[in-house]
Structure 1
């Protein structure tokens, strides 16, 4: 309860004082449970669930995850810098993500609307990934991993910290997975055995650098990923060389220092770039195979400044401004040979916002947090979004929070402008307006002792203007429109405890009902989620064992349903067998559960099977 977090209000405050049911995952959690992507880590949190379509990972919250969405309803930060791209507004959480998980110091997840602090995209939550410092790495380090289906990875890193406070971290990593041949019954027909051969591969390369001196911090990251697409999505010919290629980069420079007693100034400038290509074979009019290249170029830059002021007794005020210029929101699509241009759309726009937030200690044990932000968006127009929270400490160990907030998501460039002609084609809709959400949440937190926390959350979400695709009766083309609404009501119970001798336990249970406002359950919305994470020492082996269990109930697909499932992972980690060496052995989907995720409208399949049991061994050596 006294742990300091910075992502909720953009200044440091304790979990007890934060106007949210914020959850923190640490580097120790990442090691104990062998999480290799941000999606793996987030899947362990209360109320969250992750889908994977053998190309990207997608995050759902409190019963809401629409098949085909691109994680645009979550805001993803790396060290406080927005990384959602400027075309799809995608938060990259899978193998396409920017960071090697070995570089992550902690993850702060802030559920609920965050537009009062961060603006667009923070409908369901804010994810802030905080990277390690050079002192945490303390010298050269190398890591190697080998696993099932031809998986292998390597990383080299160097950390350095000087007596004058200079801190440097450098890292490069590469991963590769050959994947497996996958069977899809929907494609079994004369001339095809329904098997996608050698198309589940995944290759990625990453670079990261970070340096700090005095009040200055600079950092930059880059990832390039190529992923085979075995599913025949978007009407591509099955069992042909379909793949996606993603690159993303970011850079930031930040200045943070006190101006005077009780006043702090933070200034940040950032730049980002993301490029995507989807390469696939499609049937031509004469029956021949035509190679289509579909993609985008996204580029953006921006700056922010904020002043945190605490000189007025019982008040802590933060005020600031954010600006971002989306210099490139370009989309294209063409056939290679014979060359035929289908789409060449080039756009640029911008957004800016000003915000203010006051944490007012009304009296001992009673805290009132009020925030308001005004955004001016080229596509969504003017937006005002508040957050009001009352935190009452009934006793030193018990805190009650009552929170109200609203948020918005501006339509992205793909929804606004993506168009191509012909059967099964799509047309843009520049008239789209923003999605909006209003939430009410009641939270009860109890500190069990210095090492334990229990929490219960009751929530109600109301969304309107949801952007969805529909077929236009006059043209027969797909088009995005503000045609739906949604209501979600539920409860979450979470428990965390560190016992003697290093035993750590984290458990949660969520009940939720998400419907379209007329009591029709949403697609891909589990009614119940149960999570358990247990980490315990194995003194005889100088090791730790991490065990993870994730269970979810049945979910509706477009025309049917997929059954419930329980997924279990086990990881044994030892850093005492050899000097300066850490060795881990992981078993993912340990009991080989067969389960699937609902597929979107661009798939022939009603549901897509998830990964079967795999193993991986990892060796890390510090020089």
Structure 2
């Protein structure tokens, strides 16, 4: 029997409270809390104990340094109240299996998992190619990112991450297409320069086990710190066994997989005021199964094998001498992603292999200015170029002939994006006004022998603006309005193949999706209590959705219904987020959240809108002790408001998704260079599924992590 939670108890549990994830950096590292003046870098210092850094994990002062909201270093007060931050300390404390699981419980974010090897963040009701993912400020979204939940966020190794910044409500001006729901920027570990002529060698070895053979992880890291050279490198080897669900669900077949990841970052001082950064990260996952397809849709096999991503970049950063010019940086990047799908129906001897590879080259230049103490600005230009290679074949598993066929996309396709943008903020007394503008050109080309050729050239002009008022010391009220867009990509225009509940045929006559997000936020910081509330309304038009269609004059193909993509009329998403951080005393702390979202399209419910959900954490740090302990409740109400697509979706139960609640505890001890962490999750053994997911959550389980630093 699934655990249920009624609306009222859930509301009382999270009313007015939120998990506020802070901006502390690496475990044992604190970032200075003022925006760096021109000609300086953000300095870092090492904390004395792990316990202290964990205690400060959730601090939420307005002067925290963030980079995503303004595309440069800025205080949180300057960047805006809605920014949510996850620190390295938080990731260490939570011991998440993946980046997808790391974002569970963040205000305004809902994590859907189509499969155990995936995970797609919903930001204010939107996901997939309607949420922009960044890695060190570089777009991960490419021209094949799909509508709806996907596995892309799971291609980031959580051990490589220093912090995550979530900017809800659109980021179209600074980052371009796809930021309809918001922007998630994953910022990786930063090596540090040493003082003087000294050389410092650091490192960490870590091992983690999760019960029921659900995880075996080994991680090795090394760092070299010199006056003009800093290096950090890490290797992760991970084996995830099949999930074991709660209640009487038992072992969930086709959910385990293997993962290997490497990350390297080196920084070189090229002058007194300039630094060159060279970075590489790569991740490969093998045997990643689609549990929902095997358990519910008649597949004997449905694997991503492999799914992989690689990113390398060079970034040169200059801190000019001029007092009005804060920073200038140029980033050149190359990415490769690959997804191989192996599919075989039950009682069939035919194995279908689909192989999609995407190469992306990009170049971006961004400058930060402080023309006077009241006026700051960001100006930039960028270009992205995608090359898509797609192929497929059928083969008889008993050694039969290989039959080539059209891939999910045309054999070769290209996509180009060019943009210029600017964003400004001006402060007058207790008031501050902000405004930004972006112009974007796109071109998507491909030759398709089956469906005809396409040369698609949309443009976009988007803007944003805001007004902030500091009511008094520690209180802030902010109104923001932002327009965003999403240009149809190669997946929208040319996809031909199966999706969650049918067969999709190409849709060459599409227009860009548009959104206008309005939000009002209030935040107060006073003594031991920090809390805030945000209300928002996102108006969307030209939404791209699927509708039933025909192929070769037939409404079905290979036994499945045929669909195509079309632009829909207007839709509206509105909701509220509340958060609080309460220090009872020097040892006890409570942090909790509540998020509510509702979506309407053509007078009917929007698809996959998350239910009311939240989190409640209690932290305990005994005085003068190296022990730490935490308890957490994660919960969601039932979701009965279903769209037509939800009703057709095999992953959503008839009548909707039940509410659920899970209880977790974790604790640890630091002794010299050693840290031991013990954790247990879903102590109540709830059988639950996040709304829209294709796989159930793990049942009651325990784990241990041991780390040694030098």
State the TM-score, normalized to the length of structure 1: 0.88
Alignment equivalent of 1:152, drawn from 216, 237, 241: 216
Q: What's the offset of the Cα at 1:296?
A: 0.8
- Which has the higher mean CA deviation after the structures are superposed, 196-205 or 222-231? 196-205
Is 2:196 aligned against 1:107? no
Q: Paired residue for 1:330? A: 389
- Work out the CA distance in 1 between the residues paired with 2:247 and 2:414: 41
String of CA shifts for 1:233-254, please: whole Å, max 9, x gaps: 6996444474442010001111
Query: What is the correspondence of 1:22-421 to structure 2 with a 5 Å cutoff?
Result: 22-54=83-115, 55-64=117-126, 71-88=128-145, 97-135=154-192, 139-150=202-213, 151-162=215-226, 164-180=227-243, 198-214=253-269, 215-226=275-286, 227-232=288-293, 237-240=298-301, 242-259=303-320, 260-263=322-325, 264-282=327-345, 288-312=348-372, 314-326=374-386, 328-337=387-396, 338-344=401-407, 345=410, 346-361=412-427, 363-378=428-443, 379=456, 381-420=458-497
Is contact 2:172–2:462 with CA below 8 Å preserved after alignment? yes
Q: 1:611 to 1:523 in 2, by over 3 A?
A: farther
Aligned-partner Cα distance in 2 for 1:505–1:160: 38
Matched, 1:428 2:490: no
Q: Which moved more, 1:350-359 or 1:103-112?
A: 103-112
Instruction: Give the corresponding residue for 1:190.
Output: none
Q: Bigger shift: 364-373 or 55-64? A: 55-64
Higher relative contact order (CA 8 A, sep 6+): 2
Give CA deviations for 1:130-181 in whole Å, capped at 9, x if unaligned.
Answer: 222234996121111111232201011101211x242100111110022157
Which consecutive residues of structure 1, in runs of 5 or more, have no partner in the other structure?
A: 66-70, 186-193, 601-606
Q: 1:180 to 1:92 in 2, by over 3 A?
A: closer
**RMSD (Å) for aligned C-alpha atoms:** 2.9
- Checking the alignment, whether the CA contact within 8 Å between 2:130 and 2:178 is kept in structure 1 is yes
* Residue 93 of structure 1, CA deviation: 9.0
Q: Partner of 1:17: helix, strand, or coil?
A: helix
d(CA) in 2 for partners of 1:95, 1:75: 11
Relative distance call for 1:325 and 1:563 in structure 2 (3 A) is same
Local SS of the residue matching 2:79: coil
- Distance in 2, Cα, partners of 1:14 & 1:313: 14
- 1:478-489 equivalences under 5 Å are 478-483=563-568, 485-489=570-574
Please list the CA deviations of residues 434-477 of structure 1 after superposition, one character each: whole Å capped at 9, or x if unmatched. Answer: 2111111111111123x642111111111112222222155422
Could you tell me which residue of structure 2 aligns to residue 582 of structure 1?
Answer: 675
- Structure 1 CA distance for aligned equivalents of residues 680 and 457 of structure 2: 46
Write the distance in 2 (CA, Å) between the matches of 1:8 and 1:599.
29
Task: After TM superposition, give the deviation of residue 231 of structure 1 in Å.
Answer: 2.6
For 2:688, the equivalent position in structure 1 comes to 595
**What is the rounded CA distance, in whole Å, between the counterparts of 2:159 and 2:666 in structure 1?**
15
Q: What is the CA-CA distance between 1:593 and the residue it aligns to?
A: 1.4
TM-score by length of 2: 0.78
Contact 2:246 2:697 in 1 (8 A): no
User: Higher strand proportion, which one?
Assistant: 1
**Partners of 1:435 and 1:467 within 8 A in 2:** yes
SS in 2 for 1:232: helix
Distance change (3 Å), C-alpha of 1:216 and 1:91: farther
